[in-house]
């Protein structure tokens, strides 16, 4: 419980800052169904995906599942600095709000993102034949699958069955939404001009919020109710790994364009209307070393931070942006990221605000 001394009179926000604050809600945001996945939002698909998410039989070894790396008890991530490709495992909370998936955006749908670890030799290593055989011999799974896609007969293409299973996993993941936070209560109180409720939001968090939507310009990339623009940026983190340079978005686009599972391919539902972003995205030299702008929601439960998991605490993230070396940024003259040069007090306030973007469940786990 926050001590009464933490409360103070509300901070004065300019009309522009107030509008930016209100743009970060309301929460939870409405989930727009994925037109490339015809079972998105289907209760049967959601339940089947929920069961399969923790089913070790999906893996070739029968020892791993999706939940092995995306642990529900750890905000659907693993808490490790890095795993596959020397990258941090991102949370699946609020993944239904995204348009590109993975740190490099190598997939353009949640079902394709679910398919990648299913087939990867370093992860579940499941072949289409393995998944099809499991489905055909498990009556419960088979009944649910048949209700969604028709009978998985011996003549049915195993590849199609594998993709359909990924679509049920995606339908489940799209339901994973982070809880409301102290910020959300403040944002709604501000919208309603409820001075009593506004005063319950700690003054340090209010000061940090003012930096976030004001001189810090953090809202440029961390915009909207999910606190991300869903795109990619070079924020000054190293992209060299033990295996060499990590090309980030540049390499992700190479994979996306050649994937048979992108929205332009035969396995996507919805036709051309669901593939507009994929059709028009362009690979540019500046994309090398760019990584996805993550959501800031639930930060207390999703450490460590950055694509390489190099920041252990929220305070470390704030310190990075306070002192970032602008000379190493390569954004073709686009200078969005800049060293904030925060005072110790400003850094504490910004940290307080970022921590207020976590709900009660994340706070209890810390």
Give, as one character, the DSSP assignment of residue 262. Answer: S
| Cα–Cα distance for residue pair 263/260, rounded to 1 Å | 9
Contact, 190 vs 21, CB < 8 A?
A: yes
Q: Please give the pLDDT value at position 273.
A: 82
**Taking the domains of the chain in order of start, what are their residue ranges?**
1-28+180-226+296-366, 31-176+247-288
Residue 302 DSSP SS3: coil
Q: What is the pLDDT of residues 240-271, one digit of tens each?
A: 777 788 999 999 999 999 999 999 999 999 88
| Cα–Cα distance for residue pair 294/308, rounded to 1 Å | 13
Topology of 31-176+247-288 in CATH? Answer: Cytochrome Bc1 Complex; Chain D, domain 2 (1.10.760)
Q: What is the pLDDT of residues 194-214, one digit of tens each?
A: 999 999 999 999 999 999 999
Contact, 233 vs 291, CB < 8 A?
A: yes
Which whole number is the average pLDDT over 82-101? 90
| Cα–Cα distance for residue pair 187/181, rounded to 1 Å | 10
State whether CATH 1.10.760 applies to domain 1-28+180-226+296-366.
yes
Please state the pTM of the whole predicted model. Answer: 0.92
User: One fold for both 1-28+180-226+296-366 and 31-176+247-288?
Assistant: yes
Residue 232 φ then ψ, to 5°: -130, 150
């Amino acid at each position: 419980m926050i001590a009464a001394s933490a409360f103070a009179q509300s901070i004065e926000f300019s009309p522009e800052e107030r509008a930016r604050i209100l743009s970060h809600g309301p929460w939870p945001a409405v989930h727009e169904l994925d037109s490339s996945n015809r079972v998105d939002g289907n209760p049967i698909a959601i339940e089947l995906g929920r069961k399969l998410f923790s089913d070790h039989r999906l893996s070739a070894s029968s020892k791993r599942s999706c939940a092995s790396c995306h642990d529900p008890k750890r905000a659907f991530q693993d808490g490790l600095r890095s795993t596959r490709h020397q990258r941090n495992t991102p949370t699946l909370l609020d993944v239904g709000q995204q348009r590109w998936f993975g740190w490099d955006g190598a997939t353009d749908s949640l079902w394709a993102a679910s398919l990648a670890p299913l087939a990867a030799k370093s992860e579940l290593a499941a072949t289409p034949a393995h998944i099809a055989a499991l489905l055909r011999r498990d009556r419960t799974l088979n009944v649910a699958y048949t209700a969604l896609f028709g009978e998985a007969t011996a003549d049915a293409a195993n590849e199609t069955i594998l993709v359909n299973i990924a679509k049920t996993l995606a339908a489940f993941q799209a339901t994973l939404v982070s809880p409301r936070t102290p910020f959300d209560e403040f944002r709604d109180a501000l919208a309603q001009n409820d001075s009593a409720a506004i005063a319950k939001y700690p003054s340090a968090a209010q000061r940090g919020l003012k930096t976030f939507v004001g001189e810090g310009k953090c809202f440029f990339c961390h915009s909207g109710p999910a606190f991300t623009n869903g795109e990619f940026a070079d924020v000054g983190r190293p992209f060299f790994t033990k295996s060499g340079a990590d090309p980030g978005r540049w390499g992700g686009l190479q994979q996306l364009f050649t994937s048979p599972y992108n929205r332009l391919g035969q396995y996507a539902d919805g036709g051309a209307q669901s593939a507009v972003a994929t059709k028009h995205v362009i690979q540019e030299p500046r994309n090398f070393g760019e990584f996805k702008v993550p959501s800031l929601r639930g930060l207390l439960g999703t450490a460590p931070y950055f694509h390489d998991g190099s920041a252990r605490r929220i305070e470390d993230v704030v310190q990075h942006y306070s002192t970032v070396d602008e000379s190493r940024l390569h954004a073709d003259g686009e200078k969005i990221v800049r060293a904030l040069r925060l005072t110790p007090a400003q850094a504490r306030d910004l940290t307080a605000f970022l921590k207020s973007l976590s709900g009660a469940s994340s706070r209890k786990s810390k």
